[in-house]
Structure 1
Amino acid sequence: MSPAAPLPTDDATHWVLTLSCPDRPGIVHAVAGLLAEHGGNITESQQFGDPLSGLFFMRVQVTASVARPVLEAALEALTREFDLTWSLDISGRPVRTLVMGSTAAHCLNDLAFRQRSESLPIELVAVVSNHTVLEPLAEFYGIPFHHVPVTAATKADAEARLLALVEELDVELVVLARYMQILSDDLCRALSGRVINIHHSFLPSFKGARPYAQAHDRGVKLIGATAHYVTGDLDEGPIIEQDVERVDHSRAVEDLVALGQDVERRALARAVRWHAEHRVLLDGHRTIVFR
């Protein structure tokens, strides 16, 4: 009989493991067994088998004293058996985040405030804007500000500068906090799965410009906001979170805009938190969100 794995000590690391693979029997047993063999104590586990895609998704938080290379080597062995796609990170580690905005300040302010007051697990390493309106706000929170003007003639250069900043600052997540520019297909591919946008509309309705005016014209009774991953298809990326607010016929467009800003803040903050906590897994053009 092999000796029992040692129990986690006080200096054990809190890991978060996410994985996906073709669905088949034995996956949970194999993952739990691997973690137990390396002294892991599972503190949270969620899984989902998608009958549409035939894929299995899992998120596990585990406390273990094992060294990271040892745990990664064991997961690689499991990868060959189950065709896993997986990621391993330290639970709660702040994700290095770059925020892009134009002139609206409410989403940037909300993220910076939540990082400071609610332990939102991100580290805001830069604010990039095609205007200078947000510079005082970035300075207030001590976030480096980069003014990158964008015109039709300079768009390629502006995106090259953004990619250089992403590389230089080791950025893991880019958040479009009401950034009123469309990213090119090349940039979307380069940052695939790493860019979250907040769209001030309840997608797939009212895409593009002035969605609140579109909604008002249709006499909607609910307004909403959608946080989604960015792809080359405008406002078509996998949806992470949506939120709504009830309205009636007495509301003017300006009222919808004001109410909508609260909805945008809430939806974006939840999407960023879930992404940073590794609770969002991509399933084709959809997401699996383990809340």
Structure 2
Amino acid sequence: MGKRRRRTAVLCAIVVLGVGGTAGCGGGSESDGDGNGNGDEAARASSALKTLKGYDTVHIDGSYPLMGRVQLQIDHEGNCVGTTEYSDQGKAEVVQLGSERVWYRYDDTRLASWRRLAEQISPDAVALHDKAAKKARGKYIETAASDLKSDPLLKLCDLDKAFADLPDSVDEVKALNPVTQDGKRVVEMVEQPEGDGIAVYVPEKGEPLPHGVKFEIDDDPVRVTVSDPGKPVQATPPPAAETVKSAEVTGLFPEIPESMQSR
């Protein structure tokens, strides 16, 4: 995917204050205006982007298809605390400290989902999982962040990484008719040319503060609302009595054989 095309995928919408979810691209109809965009509209959209990218810390709450629902407080230093819900396959608490150490604590439903996977692999996989689960249940699993480079959740745990591909500004937009969301009137501003741009939601009136974003990480769509800018991230290591080293629970996550991966 080219850089221009990726930028299209990366940001679809910035949602205004009070919106409980994010709207999809292309919703609404054209405004009664000329529909070609103007300097004032582009400036408001650009201001929302600049504000979002300028936050030192922020709380994000939304959906990530690879994970489910995510709720995280993140900053530029790689500090992150929050939870993720794996659809109907359980939850996990996450603490990341300075992009160096990560702690995950999985609930029983999540552990059970891995056991079901182990049952599909082999009796040995089940035995390894059960042994590891006994140690991990109720504990935080401590891991070096460098060992989890492919973990999709951790790509949201750093403001610099999460929003790296968001544009700083837009040059031309087309405003669509205002809509009401949670009692707030918002306007969708679509970057031109259509089909290769972004859409930004700003208040119909007043300061264009961003309160959500829809974008992509490694071609996977992410939708989050944004709140609590500037609130410090309280990322502290869990007590030693509540942690277990990842090396002690390696059988917790069943290794899927190549034969199953190709099915």
**Range of TM-score over shorter length:** under 0.3
Give TM-score, length-normalised by structure 1: 0.24
Give TM-score, length-normalised by structure 2: 0.26
